[in-house]
Structure 1
Amino acid sequence: MPAGKQGGFAYVALLITLAIVAAGVGAVADVWHTTMRREREMELLFVGHQFRQALAQFAQRRGRYPTALAEMLGDGTANSARFLRKIYPDPLTGTEEWGTVSNTGGQIVGVYSRFDGEPIKQKGFAERDNAFEGKKKYTEWIFSPLASVASPNDVKAAPPPNAPQPRTVVNPESGLPGSRNMQGSTPLIITPVVPRRGTP
């Protein structure tokens, strides 16, 4: 076989080999990315529950919810109650910037990741996270001691412990479909944020 034809076949074989290798590398990268995303989702569920518990304990002790996440860290004095060990970073964004759900009085009743993406996990949640089943965005994973605060588009709530018995009414001024008023004058609102896009 002429040398030119041999060289041509060798070149084609090299291209085929490179294509196969590239496809293999791409498949491995996809598996790695999915694995890392699942791990970060598990971290988010753990960290979110820490905030949920801290909010519940704060409300139980103070009779209200905090106006800032840092308020749950205490003031550093000996007699100051500490409800949260630290402001945990969001596993998906890598920052301590969380979206918050609060009432118009500024009391935070829930937190959520600001990462703009669709969760891989869609079912099989722990009972405390059952409201997350079927959600299409991480921003819908709202960690709150109020079980009914399940989505930015379906916000309901109850008052802190020891507060007057609430009456549930539709709040036409909240700007949120299906939102409810805690006591007729303190509707829940979602703190407006610019979603973070990208792949964690």
Structure 2
Amino acid sequence: MSAPSVVVLDYGSGNLRSAVRAMERAGAAVTLTSDLDTAMEADGLLVPGVGAYEACMRGLRAIRGERIIARRLSGGRPVLGICVGMQILFEKGIEHGVETEGCGEWPGVVERLQAPIVPHMGWNTVAVPSGTRLFAGIEDERFYFVHSYGVRDWTLATNDRTPDSHQPLVTWADHGGDRFVAAVENGPLCATQFHPEKSGDAGAQLLRNWVSSLS
């Protein structure tokens, strides 16, 4: 059986080489590119991101990355966002008084953490929901965070008639008494606020879990 193909989306943001190496170690055949057709055809798309929300969205739009994400998801094709690559999936971000429109795949606002010490930098446990596939076998592990902003309120309404298997699974973390979204599993769209590529064995297992779901 051939390895699942994964495109790491190159839009000028993120630790691209470390993301490529981490996905290769997770068992994927990896291509680093901004090419629309290649990104559409891959089994999985990884959207990295570091730095300012506005700068990431500007870079993403420059390569029509928001269209790539939307088109993949409309066809049920998996996408994984990491750090700011997760944040830009929400409706908007507010940094230093600047409000920037995001991809709008989920409702919600990325805003500054309300904690005594910011940025949040270091290892943290997370509160994982039952039924997770992304965190299978690593539910009690710690992951590495580096961020000052996050989504502090999950606002996507769920339908009581929707099967549990189709409900979004939201993982939470706490920094300085402020709770924020640490990860989301929502059908073909998954994302983590932390950096799995910097999270040792636990992060490596999470990426393997995601890659194995592509085949």
Q: TM-score interval w.r.t. the shorter chain? A: under 0.3
For the pair shown, which has the larger CA radius of gyration, 1 or 2? 1
TM-score, normalising length from structure 1?
0.25
- Greater strand percent: which structure? 2
More helix by share: 1
Q: Give the number of the structure with larger relative contact order, counting CA–CA contacts within 8 Å between residues 6 or more apart.
A: 2
